[in-house]
Amino acid sequence: MKHLSPVSLKVNGDAYELSIPAWRTLLEVLREDLSLTGTKRSCQEGQCGACTVLLDGRAIYSCLFLAVEAQGKEILTIEGLARSAGALDPIQKAFVETGAVQCGFCTPGLVLAAKSFLDENPFPSEEEVRRATVGHLCRCTGYFQIIEAVLAAARERAGKGAQL
């Protein structure tokens, strides 16, 4: 019989009480137990960034993070980023407008990484954006549109007086 650990998670503002094996990753729990499939499973080695979520505002690879270790922390997935039904976050909007969402597989992780980055550095240079996106693989865009999207989102957030 498998030993299950009780875990309380707060995901996208909602509280969840689960019993899970202690070895399960946050990625597995988000996708399989909570049906939050916007967080993508790809390399499962922390090399591609597709599984990126925010943990207390910091971008992490959920494929390398045990779900039990997320207890007591705020978890934000791509599903929770939009402020209200149908309203895109400025980062999501910028990704759409610049064509940085081609196949969309890497997009959720990149958008959340961009949010964490822009929360820390609201006025980045192009070089800083390039460095911030190094841990994310994208096979479709060639990265130019991604960098443009992050810079456009920074301009939009600054213009709206976003709380950073």
pLDDT of residue 110: 96
pLDDT of residue 46: 87
Q: Give domain limits for the chain.
A: 5-80, 90-159
% the chain with pLDDT above 70: 94
Strands 74-76 and 52-55: antiparallel
- Domain at 5-80, CATH from 3.40.640.10, 3.40.50.2000, 3.30.499.10, 3.10.20.30: 3.10.20.30
148: Cα within 13 Å, side-chain hemisphere = 12
Q: Confirm if 141 and 95 have CB atoms less than 8 A apart.
A: no
- pLDDT at residue 85 tops 60: no
Kind and range of the H or E element at 59? strand 58-61
144: nearest Cα among 155, 125, 129: 129
Stretch 62-70: mean pLDDT: 97
Q: What is the CATH number of domain 90-159?
A: 1.10.150.120
Is the pLDDT higher at 115 or at 140?
A: 115
5-80 and 90-159 share one CATH topology?
no
